[in-house]
Amino acid sequence: MGFSVVGYNILGCVDIDPFSCKTIELNGYKKRILRRPKTIQADIHTLTGQQILTACEAEDTPINMIIGGPPCQAFSVFGKRGGLKDARGNLLWEYVRLIRELRPDAFMLENVPGLRTIHNGELFSQLTDALSLDGQYVVSVQIYEMAHFGIPQFRERIFFIGNRKSVDVPLMKETHGPPGLFAAQRPFLTVHNALTGLPEPTELCSVPNHTGRKHSERIKRRYRLLRYGERDPVTRINKLHPGRPSFTIIVGSDAGGGKGHVHPYAAREVTPRESARIQTFPDWWEFSGNGRHVIRQVGNAVPPLFAAMLGQHIAKHVFGRKRMRSFEELIEKLGLDYLQDGQET
């Protein structure tokens, strides 16, 4: 969605998760952003680049860019850090294989910054070298803290940006920061900015995916007593501070753990929709599946607003794009009305 809103025409999307594919299909053509790309629900190990092109009816179409994020749980500091011992970690090499087979003009690979240090940095070096395809691609490695770009969430991620045009893509300049630290920067957008205007969650709520977990009175009592930023000792989730960006939205696993944080004002966990807002998904974007499926999609995502900024930054430096949308224009184009108030502070 983020790349689409700044002019990229997404031809196809591949994911093993059927709910993620269904979500793309649900939102195709909404707001004239996504043009209903072909969704391929399959294990990437089983697909060749040619099969993907055929499914997308793009055999004769030059591929400008491949974007994606092989699963990060194998490298995350929140997980067990199995690295390449974890089958999900091996999907990095499937990404490299598809770059080799499809030969795009450019690519972007996203992951967690823990990828830099696992296996004493050996994996990071191997991956960076492999992505260059023996010098055919110039690879820029960039780390960004999302909160410094107007995302109401502390979320650090690493991006590998490669291109065949011999361009070393520069870092984007940070736009937001702590209030009063740098006069030229806007203050962080906060949890309050993200959650403002949402009704209380009910089964009949018209906002999609805004139904929360049912809590016992014992849990509600514990949540009421938490201070901002404090972690509940049983559920091990933190109470959000309304005046700060959120803690990172995490995915969890098949064994559980994909919970939202504790709401700053109500004695409950945030709903999947509230987590989606913290990730800068607009309310019109509907997720497929139940709460667990939704929070996994939300937690796996690059925040669409940040993706739009990065997408047009790459378009400028790699493809010579001159028209650059402002932060306010991106908010308006995506339909992130709930963040508008934060721009007036």
Q: Which whole number is the average pLDDT over 136-149?
A: 98
Rounded distance between C-alpha atoms, residue 71 and residue 112, angstroms: 9
pLDDT tens-digit series, residues 216-246: 999 999 999 999 999 999 988 999 999 999 9
CA torsion sign for 270, 274, 276, 280 is negative
Q: Which whole number is the average pLDDT over 149-169?
A: 97
How much of the chain exceeds pLDDT 90, in percent? 77
CB 193 within 8 A of CB 342: yes
Least confident of 89-93, 163-167, 190-194: 89-93
Both structure tokens of 20: 């993620």
Closest Cα partner for 203 from 194, 195, 212? 212
CB 19 within 8 A of CB 65: no
Rounded distance between C-alpha atoms, residue 208 and residue 183, angstroms: 38
Domain boundaries, the chain: 2-178+304-333
Rounded distance between C-alpha atoms, residue 305 and residue 314, angstroms: 15
The confidence score (pLDDT) of residue 212 equals 86
pLDDT band at 256 (very low <50, low <70, confident <90, very high): very low
Q: Which whole number is the average pLDDT over 243-263?
A: 78
pLDDT band at 119 (very low <50, low <70, confident <90, very high): confident
How much of the chain exceeds pLDDT 70, in percent? 90
Closest Cα partner for 68 from 336, 307, 289, 272? 307
327 φ, ψ to 5°? Answer: -55, -45
Query: Can you list the pairs that 196-205 forms with residues at least 24 positions away whose Cβ atoms lie under 8 Å?
Result: 196/338, 196/341, 197/337, 197/338, 198/273, 198/274, 198/277, 198/338, 200/266, 201/271, 201/273
pLDDT band at 293 (very low <50, low <70, confident <90, very high): very high
Closest Cα partner for 261 from 155, 111, 148, 112? 155
Rounded distance between C-alpha atoms, residue 311 and residue 74, angstroms: 26
Given CATH 3.40.50.150, say whether it is the number of domain 2-178+304-333.
yes
CA torsion sign for 185, 274, 112, 8 is negative
| Amino acid letter, residue 215 | H
Q: Which whole number is the average pLDDT over 11-31?
A: 93
Q: Which whole number is the average pLDDT over 80-100?
A: 72
The confidence score (pLDDT) of residue 181 equals 62
CA torsion sign for 287, 290, 295, 301 is negative
| Amino acid letter, residue 191 | V
Closest Cα partner for 305 from 282, 285, 322? 282
177: three-class secondary structure by DSSP: strand
DSSP 143: E
Q: What is the mean pLDDT of the chain?
A: 90
Least confident of 25-34, 80-89, 137-146, 187-196: 80-89
Closest Cα partner for 86 from 115, 56, 116? 115
Q: Could you tell me which residue, 183 or 330, shows the higher pLDDT?
A: 330
Distance of CA 38 to the CA centre of its chain: 20
Strands 106-111 and 156-163: antiparallel
Both structure tokens of 89: 């970690």
The confidence score (pLDDT) of residue 34 equals 87
The confidence score (pLDDT) of residue 185 equals 84
25: three-class secondary structure by DSSP: helix
Rounded distance between C-alpha atoms, residue 272 and residue 260, angstroms: 7
pLDDT tens-digit series, residues 38-54: 999 999 999 999 999 99
| Maximum mean pLDDT: which of 83-87, 88-92, 169-173 | 169-173
The confidence score (pLDDT) of residue 342 equals 55
Q: Is it the case that residue 80 has pLDDT exceeding 80?
A: no
CA distance readout (Å), 316 to 69, 167, 175, 333:
22, 11, 18, 19
15: three-class secondary structure by DSSP: strand
Closest Cα partner for 67 from 107, 121, 104? 107
pLDDT band at 35 (very low <50, low <70, confident <90, very high): confident
Q: Which whole number is the average pLDDT over 288-315?
A: 95
The confidence score (pLDDT) of residue 345 equals 39
